[in-house]
Structure 1
Amino acid sequence: MTQPIRWLQDEIATRMLQKLDIVKLEAKDVLVIPDFPGEHLATFAKRFPNARIHSVLGEGITGFQLCRAKLIANWRSLFRSGKANAIAGYLQADRFNLPDNSVDLVFSDLLLQDLVDPKHFLRECWRVLREGGLIAFSYLGPDTGKELNNLEGSPLQLKNLLSPWDMHDMGDALVTERFSDPVMDMEYLTLDYQKPTLLMADIQALKLINSATTSGIEIPDLPQKLTLEVVYGHAWVIGKHLAKSKDHVAYIDPNQIGRKTRSDPS
């Protein structure tokens, strides 16, 4: 998510936190991916005053910018900051720089639509989440930018989202990856534009077109609005250490099997 649309990321983070108002969770460690200077920092500081916040920095964000924003939001949070890494590092390694069972909450705001393999992301979240932990996320669904599909003969090179999953696809994936009690929700947001240049800036930031093809080109009949399908979800990690499954077969560690004895009836 690039700078022209950063306000959207902040707005969706606020809505995600509102949806979590009914969730009871004591978090000692929180992973925010992608993290950025936004209003959510003050909310995290208030809701989880003793938690360490581990950050995977969004595109174009530096550690200094995030530290400055945390200082403004709540100076005490600087003393509880955890690890901070760049999103590029995660995308290259396909792995969080965190040990197994190390966080209680993964908070992911508008990321999954940019990942080639969301299931791998879910597996990494499962790996780092502790028993009783929670994953909360939002992403752009397949109806995002549907107005652009009507631009017949346009020089714009339209791009599909890397992960065009609707909320049912994601709900099924959560169950497959052993998350419990998934809750999915979706809403449409409509952005209205007075200038075509503003629309072009946003659809480039949302990665809906190949930006290399738009330089110096005037696009006729551009829409004056843009639809965003925003999908929300959260799910729990329950019974993490009871069994591991592969190819629909559950494998139970022998150490997890209790031994029952009975007295001799004679």
Structure 2
Amino acid sequence: MTQSIREWLQDEIADRMLQKLDIVKLDVKDILIVPDFPGKHLDILLKRYPSARTFGITEEGVSVMQMWRAKAMGNWRSLFASNTSPLASYRSSGKFNLPDNSIDLVFSDLLLQDLPDPKHFLKECWRVLREGGLMTFSYLGPDTGKELRSLTIPELKLKNLLSPWDMHDMGDALLSERFSDSVMDMEYLTLDYEKPDLLLGDVSAFNLMQSTPLEITTMSVLPPKLTLEVVYGHAWAVGKHLAKAKDNVAYIDLNQIGRKTRSDSA
């Protein structure tokens, strides 16, 4: 495998996300990809939305030049109208460098498990999405690496995902952030290993452990497989003119209420 395990998984999950979008009807002029990375999904997005502009928040370790080259090789027509910024900038500011109501589709592949509070991400997606826009996303759920958590090995210093949300947590958060018609889904992927050091390398790549190496004698008790829980979801930005609901009641801005005139009723 020439790709790293994280690159392979991002590519694989992006492909599955796009398959789930096959039945979605959406007029797309502007796309936000976060995190943005070179992958086969770029060609699929190009074919599906040939006139769309793309805005990317690039993954750590991926340079703007790498993204430029990946899109140029795919003949991405909106290449010179596109914009990229580093994921580190978003992490520090909590903001996308985009105006309100400027995006039709947010495509987020395997990011949310690495954010301290995904609600801030949802708020930003709501802000930049246009009325009727769509957010589609995937992330690793809390059952990821469950085989390792049942072991009692002092040298194995595991850590939880930064955001261990299951799909029910996410569904509740989408509702509280005013997204509509959310659809959540989940599946388990199992990776098999012939050597324990390969397993540990992938566990480290998924940010599931500290970087402390294990003794050879300890590695012999490691499981030969690793489970990944992948959560998928999408939700719509509908009713953006409504004020945020309180106590399950939506409050409408008075400016949104039109007065019926005599000529209207004629």
TM-score (norm. length: structure 1) = 0.92
- Percentage of pairs with the same residue: 68
Aligned letter for 1:172?
D
Structure-2 residue corresponding to 1:35: 36
Deviation at 1:25, TM superposition (A): 0.7
Aligned letter for 2:192?
D
Contact 2:46 2:76 in 1 (8 A): no
Q: Deviations over 1:162-213 (max 9, x none)?
A: 11111111111111110000000000000001122211111111000011x2
Q: How does 1:174-253 map to 2 (within 5 A)?
A: 174-211=174-211, 213-214=212-213, 217-218=215-216, 219-220=218-219, 221-246=221-246, 250-253=250-253
Structure-2 residue corresponding to 1:50: 51
Structure-1 residue corresponding to 2:66: 65
Distance 1:23 1:87, change over 3 A: same
Work out whether 1:26 is the aligned partner of 2:32.
no
Computed over aligned residues only, the root mean square deviation of the Cα atoms, in angstroms, reads 1.7
Structure-2 residue corresponding to 1:142: 142
Distance 1:84 1:154, change over 3 A: same
Contact 1:112 1:139 in 2 (8 A): yes
Distance 2:246 2:124 in 1: 16
Distance 2:245 2:188 in 1: 36
Deviation at 1:6, TM superposition (A): 0.8
Q: After TM superposition, what 4+ stretches of structure 1 lie above 6 angstroms from structure 2?
A: none
Distance 1:62 1:14 in 2: 22
Contact 1:50 1:80 in 2 (8 A): no
Contact 1:179 1:236 in 2 (8 A): yes
Contact 1:101 1:131 in 2 (8 A): yes
Give the unaligned 5+ runs of structure 2: none
Q: Deviations over 1:80-122 (max 9, x none)?
A: 42x2011111000011111100100000000000111011110
Contact 1:70 1:77 in 2 (8 A): no
SS in 1 for 2:245: strand
SS in 2 for 1:209: coil
Contact 1:107 1:135 in 2 (8 A): yes
Distance 1:148 1:191 in 2: 13
Distance 1:65 1:140 in 2: 25
Structure-1 residue corresponding to 2:88: 88
- More moved, 243-252 vs 195-204: 243-252
Contact 2:111 2:139 in 1 (8 A): yes
Deviation at 1:56, TM superposition (A): 0.3
Contact 1:110 1:139 in 2 (8 A): yes
Distance 1:175 1:114 in 2: 21
TM-score (norm. length: structure 2) = 0.92
Work out whether 1:126 is the aligned partner of 2:126.
yes
How many residues are treated as equivalent by the alignment?
259
Q: Deviations over 1:125-166 (max 9, x none)?
A: 000000000000000011000011122133011000111111
Deviation at 1:251, TM superposition (A): 3.7
